[in-house]
A = this chain, B = another copy of it.
Amino acid sequence: MKWKTEEIPIKQLATGHNLSIKTHTISGLDGPHIHIQASVHGAELQGNAVILKLMEKLKEIELHGSITFVPLANPWATNNKHGTYTYGRYNPVTGDNWNRNYIDIFQIYNDELKTFCSQLKNDSWATIKKEFKSFLKSTIEKHMTELEMQKKISNNNKLNLFLQKLAAKADGILDLHTGPTATRYLYASDYAEERAKYLLFKYVLIMPSVFAGAMDEAGFMPWIHLQNTFKEIGRDIDLDIESYTLEFGSEETFCMKSATDDVESIINFLKFKGLIKEEPKTIISHYSKLENYQTIYSPAGGLVDYNISPGDMYKKGDVLASIYNLSTLDPEKPIESTQEEIKAIQDGIVINRCPSSSVHEGMELFQIMRHTYTK
């Protein structure tokens, strides 16, 4: 069991100071590699508490494999304050969502991937995996070098490509996030739906295996491309690499006590992946397809009284929130006349809600799971 710490400058500020990322890698006996990062969205802090708890647990465990931890993976975003709150979801200069600008690298380097596959067509899956990880890493490096030479590397690119490169050697990628005001839930890709249960999340969103710019997708897409390219030349591959986004409650919160429970999710995943030699457990969870995950946008501006909390189930017709429009207030009429109720169109579960009761028309009120199923 050996720890190795590295510090990488990731953003030089106008004053010349460098913000850096520190990675901590633990290596045990032979086994798979896991990549765990937290706080790519700067206000989403709880993943760091989970990492601290996991590091503590690893002191008592014999690890069959290795893990790289990247706490505070986006220091500029975590440090960026407007008022007391952290404006950490979007680049404050460009508006870019920090988790929507990763790159689907083999969409760019598709010919190179085809060559790779035709060369390794007859090799064992173990060999292919090993070779592909280093091919993936070198392809990302090549891409970075080309961008740099042309001064085309934006800060988003630099951070995202650095994290993608770091995760290239992983058999499991865990991107630790939180919602705004939120319950705990998991994003899993459809090809890994059956394995998602080992993460022990009560709520699971199943998304298609396509690319929309997020880290979890940037983690599994190279392997999906690999699988597809091999299929074209007649070889079927069963992927045993997974990439998840784990949502640990609400933003702006860092709580070591809650982390004691939260860490069980990852411990169990390590058992499933074989890094810890114990039987993983499973739980019954609520699943929903991403297409059934809906954002309810506020139809009006007003002060919002939220009637339901993240993690709550509701029935069709239930009042989810009431919006008070005080510009229409007439003290001689019942209060209800200043109020618009947001009623559920069908049954569902609240996953996120807006952390503010002051809401403009068109802002997100809730994100809800519909057409859920349990298993």
Across-interface contacts of A20 in B (CB, < 8 A) = 17
Most buried by B among A15, A81, A253: A15
* B17, A19: Cβ atoms closer than 8 Å: yes
Given A327-B15, A327-B17: A83 touches B79 (CB 8 Å cut-off): no
Across-interface contacts of A82 in B (CB, < 8 A) = 82-83, 85, 87, 92
Q: In the complex, A305→B45 CA distance in Å?
A: 11
* A14, B97: Cβ atoms closer than 8 Å: no
Across-interface contacts of A28 in B (CB, < 8 A) = none
Task: Name which of A111-119, A190-198, A291-299 contacts chain B.
Answer: A291-299
* A363, B93: Cβ atoms closer than 8 Å: yes
Q: Give the distance to chain B from A100, nearest Cβ to Cβ, in Å.
A: 9
Given A45-B358, A152-B294, A301-B16: A22 touches B329 (CB 8 Å cut-off): yes
How many residues of A are counted as interface, with CB atoms below 8 angstroms from the partner's CB atoms? 102
Task: Name which of A217-225, A267-275, A330-338 contacts chain B.
Answer: A330-338
Among residues of B, the one whose C-beta sits closest to the C-beta of A159 is B362
| Interchain CB contact (< 8 A) of A331 among B12, B26, B42, B254 | B26
With an 8 A cutoff between CB atoms, is A210 at the interface?
A: no
Given A5-B331, A150-B294, A335-B55: A79 touches B326 (CB 8 Å cut-off): no
Across-interface contacts of A152 in B (CB, < 8 A) = 294-297
Given A43-B356, A359-B14: A342 touches B151 (CB 8 Å cut-off): yes
Chain A 144-158 against B: per-residue CB contact (8 Å), 1 yes, 0 no? Answer: 000010111111111
Among residues of B, the one whose C-beta sits closest to the C-beta of A75 is B15
With an 8 A cutoff between CB atoms, is A345 at the interface?
A: yes
List A73-112 residues whose CB lies under 8 Å from chain B. 75-76, 78-79, 81-97
* B255, A305: Cβ atoms closer than 8 Å: yes
Across-interface contacts of A87 in B (CB, < 8 A) = 82-83
With an 8 A cutoff between CB atoms, is A227 at the interface?
A: no
Across-interface contacts of A345 in B (CB, < 8 A) = 150-151
Q: In the complex, A79→B76 CA distance in Å?
A: 10
With an 8 A cutoff between CB atoms, is A48 at the interface?
A: yes
| Interchain CB contact (< 8 A) of A84 among B12, B155, B180 | B180
With an 8 A cutoff between CB atoms, is A128 at the interface?
A: no
Among residues of B, the one whose C-beta sits closest to the C-beta of A24 is B331
* B81, A360: Cβ atoms closer than 8 Å: yes
Most buried by B among A91, A153, A327: A327
With an 8 A cutoff between CB atoms, is A325 at the interface?
A: yes
List A180-238 residues whose CB lies under 8 Å from chain B. 180
Given A15-B79, A24-B329: A153 touches B362 (CB 8 Å cut-off): yes
Across-interface contacts of A26 in B (CB, < 8 A) = 331
Can you sample 24 A-B contacts with CB below 8 Å? A3-B332, A5-B331, A11-B361, A11-B362, A12-B301, A12-B361, A13-B360, A15-B75, A17-B20, A17-B79, A22-B327, A52-B324, A55-B331, A81-B92, A82-B83, A82-B85, A82-B92, A83-B87, A83-B92, A90-B95, A148-B299, A252-B355, A254-B305, A254-B357
